[in-house]
Amino acid sequence: MKSPRLVSSICVLSFMLGGCSVQSSQLSSIINLMRGSPVDYSESAWLIRYGEYRAQVQALSFEGGILFSNSRGDQAFFDGWAITRAAGLGLERGSWSVKDDAGRRHFTHRSRLSSYPACAPWEKEAMSGVVQFTQSCQGASVYRNKILVNKKGQITLIRQSLNAGASFVTLSKSQKD
């Protein structure tokens, strides 16, 4: 008596498999949503430079700032006024941090700490549709950090020292071709 059950099971299974060819606009929409459409990351593309090293990074918004990162291990965390942490930048085990407190700016590179007087307040200057913020700092010598903001109020360039003026990391917004 197993054969009627087997025949019934095969019929039901055939019907179910055959039913898979029926399409629904709602189902298609859900499947397309699950697959995801190609994401355009060009809006978040930036160029990071450190000395002769150059690489593309993506800007990712986090609470407290923006992380610029790529699959090579390059990272720079920008808190809105300063790059407070960086890693990679073409160097093995390259890691930096910058921290300000009452009256001092502290730089850490590969676990070595150096401290200098705090930087001066940011100065704002409008120049042909662009606003430039500069900050004068005292390290081994006097140096200046810079942030450029376009007409739309978007930051397009960040240039800051990670080691008291000896060298700079620069983040610039990638231009669309």
Say whether both 19 and 50 belong to one domain: no
Say whether both 15 and 63 belong to one domain: no
Say whether both 46 and 30 belong to one domain: no
Q: Is the pTM of the predicted complex or chain greater than 0.85?
A: no
Say whether both 17 and 73 belong to one domain: no
Say whether both 54 and 141 belong to one domain: yes
The pLDDT value given to residue 19: 46
What confidence tens digit (pLDDT) does each residue in 93-106 have?
A: 678 899 999 889 99
Backbone angles phi, psi at 94, to 5 degrees: -75, 120
Positions in the chain whose pLDDT score sits under 70: 1-42, 93, 175-177
Q: In this structure, what CATH number is given to the domain that contains residue 130? A: 2.40.360.10
- Residue-range definition of the domain harbouring residue 118: 42-173
